[in-house]
Structure 1
């Protein structure tokens, strides 16, 4: 049986590969801001989809084929190359609930908590 650390590494590799297959661009804005945000699932429901938008189109599902369990977190790279700092996050959960949070400033926050 693989160790939990190995299982997590394999899951993260799969999520990264899924992002590449979905056409998520490795474009980076040309400024000094870090737009990596750790997203925490504090809802009590397994998160099945996570999307980010700087206005306009929603990006692909950042969870790929995985889920984000209640109490778990993952780092999300919100930089889409547009130079935007404010992003919307949209999460869908296994019970059919969808939560959208607008105006998340990825240039200023390091952690974002999804709560009910």
Structure 2
């Protein structure tokens, strides 16, 4: 299922201002939400995992931050199906290119 989602988001389809980012779920639970936020904002953007899908344990998906901004630093938030949550502040997504989530 996740491979199909990655196929929907090919690497070359993003606009110049959009940021492609790989999230890897190396935890024991499914990730049901992945959100980013401008560090200067107190509001999380929409869930970047498409509606009706989850990121199962042991899988990965490419997400696109399509906010039209030319920034690299974002706050990250992942929510697991068991209610666990992880937040990291001021992550440089341009430098990282990917993020591996482990058990909450």
Please state which band the TM-score falls in when normalised by the shorter chain: 0.7 to 0.9
Report the structure, 1 or 2, having the larger strand content.
Answer: 2
1:67 and 2:51 correspond: no
The residue correspondences of 1:72-111 to structure 2 (distance < 5 A) are: 72-111=59-98
Q: Structure 2 residue aligned with 1:49, among 16, 33, 42?
A: 33
Q: Distance in 1 between the 2:15 and 2:52 partners?
A: 23
How far did residue 39 of structure 1 move?
0.3
Q: Give structure 1 regions of 4+ aligned residues with deviation exceeding 6 angstroms.
A: none
Distance 1:53 1:38, change over 3 A: same
How far did residue 86 of structure 1 move?
0.5
3-state SS of 2:95 partner: coil
How far did residue 40 of structure 1 move?
0.4
Q: Distance in 2 between the 1:79 and 1:85 partners?
A: 12
Q: Which runs of 5+ in 2 are unaligned?
A: none
Q: TM-score, normalised by structure 2?
A: 0.75
Provide the residue aligned with 1:23 in structure 2: none
1:27·1:80 contact (CA, 8 Å) conserved in 2? no
Matched residue pairs, number? 95
Q: Which has the larger radius of gyration?
A: 1
